[in-house]
């Protein structure tokens, strides 16, 4: 991760894989899966695995529209299509489904304004 001079927040990550450094814009990320200290970043085209904890990843994304929906998933709400409360699933515009835990489902129903 690199902050340019005078930049207070990031809007991208630089990820190194062997001898290649890829720039990943936050807006291109669909969701993030964390397993211990490894984080998998999913875009529509590719996935990237980096060594970063959930805590650190949330710090990096604090100014972006990502929400934790499970102990191991963060979802880009700009990529979300719908939440199915019966199935405990979030469906992304790409067709991918992510499990939402009961704990985080309660957060959504109480913290977000939902019209019916």
Torsional class of 71: left (φ above 0), alpha (ψ -120 to 50), beta (otherwise): alpha
Q: Where do the structural domains in the chain lie, given as residue ranges?
A: 12-111
Q: List the pLDDT tens digit at each of the 116 positions of the chain.
A: 444 444 456 789 899 888 999 999 999 999 999 998 899 999 999 999 999 888 888 888 887 888 899 999 999 999 999 989 899 999 999 999 999 999 888 876 776 677 77
CATH H-level superfamily of 12-111: LytTr DNA-binding domain (2.40.50.1020)
Burial 43-67 (b: 16+ CB within 10 A, else e): beeeebebebebeebeebbeebebb
CA dist 58 and 61 (Å) reads 5
- Identify the pLDDT of residue 37: 82
The model's pTM? 0.83
Measure CA 24 to chain center. Answer: 12
């Amino acid at each position: 991760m690199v902050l340019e001079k005078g930049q207070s927040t990031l809007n991208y990550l630089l990820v190194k894989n062997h001898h290649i450094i890829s720039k990943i814009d936050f807006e291109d990320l669909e969701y993030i899966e964390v397993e211990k200290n490894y984080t998998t970043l999913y875009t529509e085209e590719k996935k990237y695995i980096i060594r970063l904890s959930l805590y650190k990843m949330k710090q990096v994304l604090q100014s972006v529209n990502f929400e934790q929906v499970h102990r191991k998933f963060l979802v880009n709400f700009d990529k979300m299509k719908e939440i199915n409360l019966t199935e405990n699933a979030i469906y992304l515009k790409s067709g991918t489904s992510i499990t939402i835990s009961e704990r985080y489902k309660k957060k959504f129903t109480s913290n977000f304004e939902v019209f019916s």
